[in-house]
Amino acid sequence: MTVPKLALSDNTGEALAKTRADVVVIGTLAGEDGPLLADGAAAVDAAFDGRLAGLLATLGASGKAEEVVKIPTLGKLPAGVVLAVGLGKAGDGVTPEQVRRAAGAAGRALAGTDRAFVTLSELDLQAAVEGTVLGAYVFTAYRSEKGDAPVAKVDFASPADGTSREHKATLKAATSIAEAVITTRDLINTPPNDLYPASFADRAKKLAEDNGLEFEVLDEKALKRKGFGGILGVGGGSSRPPRLVRIGYKPAKAAKKVALVGKGITFDSGGISLKPAANMDHMTSDMSGAAGVLASVVLAAKLKYPLEVVAHIPLAENLPSGTSYRPGDVLTMYGGKTVEVLNTDAEGRLILADTMVRAAEENPDYLIETSTLTGAQVVSLGHRTAGVMGSDDFRDRVAGVMRATGENGWAMPLPEELRADLDSRLADLANITGHRWGGMLAAGIFLREFVADGLDWVHIDIAGPSFNTGAPWGYTGKGGTGVPVRTIAAVLADIAANG
């Protein structure tokens, strides 16, 4: 993990006069007649005799979202360059997500820079830190030519409101959250020949040991002995057998207990119901949910949430072979329910069903499950909006938090009429409906069959948002995104504060 060295500066004007930064980052807004300078840019503008907005307009700047324009300081500041990044239209005020995305664009543009001074933090410190660190992220572990390194050091101007102690606490929390997202991205971006059930479990064990967390892993023999039919069925076609990992954080005084469950298919070929070859390489990201909950339980320990948080992570590789499970098989799940397999590419719900039953045995107050579960999520909501399903009140609460963090969750129903479509001629239920309609919702209804009565639970389908196959944008590069780690962190904080 490569993260810039971060620091706070209390006085923007004095800090700019003696900064050792190579680049000063300011924000601009899209005005009706050209770019406007955002809060935090006043001291920089003063060094340009109040003409900075005009100079930027001459260079074609408009202040539109994520626009990056560089201007030499010509000795007016110790730093050699001012980097102006667009926040877009202000509306009733600049939102944290505008700051986060602008800071992300700046973080990408600062590649190869030794030190930067960022004034966007005067608008929102947490958003500026998260955006800068995540925008600067690159994954070069498998490249012989690494290219420009991320910015090495970043000084953030402290907001006018609040105390120095509060600002330091915000910096620490924002840095920890960004590091958790980066841990998730690193796992997602690791190729499946190096990241498979056993090696993922080894990485999880190292993180648990480094952070003083409880750790347990069940291998294929233990899974068979305890009756985890879903995980064993899905993982049976691979020479690299499945695992089930449990990692727990338990503070001295825990107000509530939260179970986290994340889908960990380290590669998904579709099994016997083989996927098309085109874009099958994207299925290296089918363990994004597992990576996210692993990083989240570690984050809970780092931020010392007054909650007991336990992550349950099923890990399997879904491959076709002579030992693969087949369409037509009936699996006996953990807890005793039986499932007829109609499609081996609807495998995630099988390993999650086992794991959700296991997680509920520990009597959590809340269960948060996240997974790259259905292509139907992308059809319904696109690549940037997750589908959020579950018990009504908790579903709406999580979806609201997700939108507030900029991770864009949307509450979706679980229509009762779809349950009959999961009826099986042989077993308690089938793993798909047999038709294409409402596939994301049907998957949620399937999972609901394995949720303990009365448990507040939520299912977050991140099939699209977890992996960016297009061009970088905001603080999101290509590859793993780390969604929904920031949401889980915010939900845990909300539960700690409000129960």
pLDDT of residue 189: 98
DSSP for 412-463, please give it: ----GGGGGGG--SSSSEESS-SSSTTHHHHHHHHHHTTSPTT-EEEEEE-T
Q: How far apart are CA 284 and CA 291, in angstroms?
A: 12
pLDDT of residue 93: 87
Q: Residues annotated as binding site for Mn(2+)?
A: 263, 268, 286, 345, 347
Q: How far apart are CA 381 and CA 370, in angstroms?
A: 16
Helix H or strand E segment including 12: helix 12-18
Cβ–Cβ < 8 Å for 102, 39: no
Cβ neighbors of 188 (< 8 A, separation 6 or more) are: 284, 285, 287, 288, 291, 466, 467, 479, 480, 481, 482
CATH 3.40.630.10 is the classification of domain 184-498: yes
**Preceding peptide of 484 cis, ω within 30°:** yes
In the three-class reduction of DSSP (H, G, I as helix; E, B as strand; rest coil), residue 320 is classed as: coil
From the list 152, 67, 70, 79, the residue with the least C-alpha distance to 105 is: 67
Cβ–Cβ < 8 Å for 19, 44: no
Partners of residue 24 on adjacent β-strands = 82, 117
From the list 19, 2, 18, the residue with the least C-alpha distance to 117 is: 19
Domain ranges of the chain: 5-161, 184-498
Cβ–Cβ < 8 Å for 359, 252: no
Burial class (CB in 10 A: 0-12, 13-18, 19+), 213: buried
Q: Which CATH class, in words, describes the domain spanning 5-161?
A: alpha beta
Beta-carbon-side half-sphere exposure of residue 37 (alpha carbons within 13 Å):
22
Q: Which residues participate in catalysis according to the annotation? A: 275, 349
Tokens of 201: 């479990």
Residue matched to tokens 């699996």: 331
Q: How far apart are CA 460 and CA 368, in angstroms?
A: 8
In the three-class reduction of DSSP (H, G, I as helix; E, B as strand; rest coil), residue 330 is classed as: strand
499 residues of the chain, pLDDT tens digit each: 778 999 999 877 888 888 999 999 999 999 998 999 999 999 999 999 999 999 999 999 999 999 999 999 999 999 999 999 999 997 778 999 999 999 999 999 999 999 999 999 999 999 999 999 999 999 999 999 999 999 999 999 999 999 999 999 999 999 999 999 999 999 999 999 999 999 999 999 999 999 999 999 999 999 999 999 999 999 999 999 999 999 999 999 999 999 999 999 999 999 999 999 999 999 999 999 999 999 999 999 999 999 999 999 999 999 999 999 999 999 999 999 999 999 999 999 999 999 999 999 999 999 999 999 999 999 999 999 999 999 999 999 999 999 999 999 999 999 999 999 999 999 999 999 989 999 999 999 999 999 999 999 999 999 999 999 999 999 999 999 999 999 999 999 999 999 9
pLDDT of residue 313: 99
In the three-class reduction of DSSP (H, G, I as helix; E, B as strand; rest coil), residue 195 is classed as: coil
- CA Rg, the chain, in Å? 24
Q: How far apart are CA 242 and CA 233, in angstroms?
A: 9
Residue matched to tokens 């007829």: 340
Rounded to 5°, the CA angle 424-429-435 comes to 65
DSSP letter assigned to residue 74: T
CA distances from 268 to 176, 234, 249, 283, 347 (A): 31, 10, 30, 5, 9
Q: How far apart are CA 22 and CA 6, in angstroms?
A: 15
- What residue type is assigned to position 457 of the chain? W
CB atoms within 10 A of CB 203: 17
Tokens of 314: 């099923």
pTM: 0.97
From the list 498, 127, 78, the residue with the least C-alpha distance to 305 is: 498
Q: Are strands 81-86 and 68-72 parallel, antiparallel or unpaired?
A: antiparallel
pLDDT of residue 427: 98
pLDDT of residue 2: 77
